């Protein structure tokens, strides 16, 4: 093989190597864009804040207001379809909780949070679009990136209750159908003060 042929082969080889490198860079850039830019834009991200207050209405009943504040921390529009709020009795211990505590099953290795009692009347689920007789359907709330919205739920609980556990779940509509993924926030709330004292100010937690 003459020198000219060797130079031609080397030129083709270098060109092929450069094309492979350029292709790898383009593919890597595409996947980086898809993973970190496009996906972040497509899937919303929520920060939830839980604020509560209460007031005794009668010697037997206490009014409890739970406000869920939702902040859209993502880059895409957030549409809400389901919001669940549970208020669970902690103190005084319900019979089921006392029995679970005695059997050491109240908190297990597989479940990190205690299995407190939930009454049917203290379990609220709000779904959108919502239809009410004689009214126009209420559309799904939409939260723009960087914006906030708040939703309140009212409960009547026995005045004998001293401490409750509040659980909130918000469905991620963009991932609906994928094992119902969403965001949660929880808090314990003290009912022994006249208006809850410092327990009315709860820590803000970034939802998973």
Contacts of 46 (CB under 8 A, 6+ apart): 70, 71, 72, 73, 74, 78, 170, 172, 183, 207
Instruction: Give dist(CA 18, CA 161) in Å, integer.
Output: 73
Q: How confident is the model at residue 27 (pLDDT cuts 50, 70, 90)?
A: low
**More confident of the two residues 13 and 71:** 71
Instruction: Give dist(CA 59, CA 62) in Å, integer.
Output: 8
Count of CB atoms situated within 10 Å of the CB of 138: 13
Residue whose structure tokens are 């965001």:
183
| pLDDT at site 197 | 44
**Which three-class secondary structure state does DSSP give residue 18?**
helix
Picking from 189, 1, 4, the residue whose alpha carbon sits closest to that of residue 89 is 189
Question: pLDDT over 90 for what percent of the chain?
Answer: 32
Q: Do residues 87 and 66 lie in contact, with contact meaning Cβ atoms separated by under 8 Å?
A: yes
Give tens-digit pLDDT for 150-200: 999 999 999 999 999 999 999 887 666 555 578 899 999 999 865 444 444
């Amino acid at each position: 093989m003459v020198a000219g042929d060797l130079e031609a082969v080397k030129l083709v080889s270098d060109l092929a190597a450069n094309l492979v490198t350029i292709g790898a860079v383009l593919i890597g850039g595409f996947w980086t864009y898809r993973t970190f830019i496009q996906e972040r834009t497509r899937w919303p991200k929520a920060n939830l804040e839980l604020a509560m207050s209460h007031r005794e209405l009668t010697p037997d009943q206490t009014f409890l207001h739970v406000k869920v504040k939702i902040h859209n921390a993502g880059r895409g529009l957030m549409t809400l379809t389901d919001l669940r709020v549970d208020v669970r009795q902690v103190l005084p211990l319900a019979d089921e909780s006392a029995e679970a505590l005695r059997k050491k099953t109240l908190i297990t290795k597989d479940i990190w949070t205690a299995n407190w009692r939930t009454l049917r009347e203290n379990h609220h689920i709000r779904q959108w679009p919502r239809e009410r007789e004689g009214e126009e359907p209420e559309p799904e709330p939409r939260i723009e990136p960087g914006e906030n919205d708040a939703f309140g739920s009212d409960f009547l609980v026995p005045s004998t209750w001293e401490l409750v556990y509040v659980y909130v779940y918000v469905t991620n509509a963009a991932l609906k159908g994928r094992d119902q993924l969403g965001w949660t926030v929880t808090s314990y709330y003290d009912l022994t003060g006249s208006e809850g004292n410092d327990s009315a100010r709860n820590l803000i937690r970034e939802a998973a």
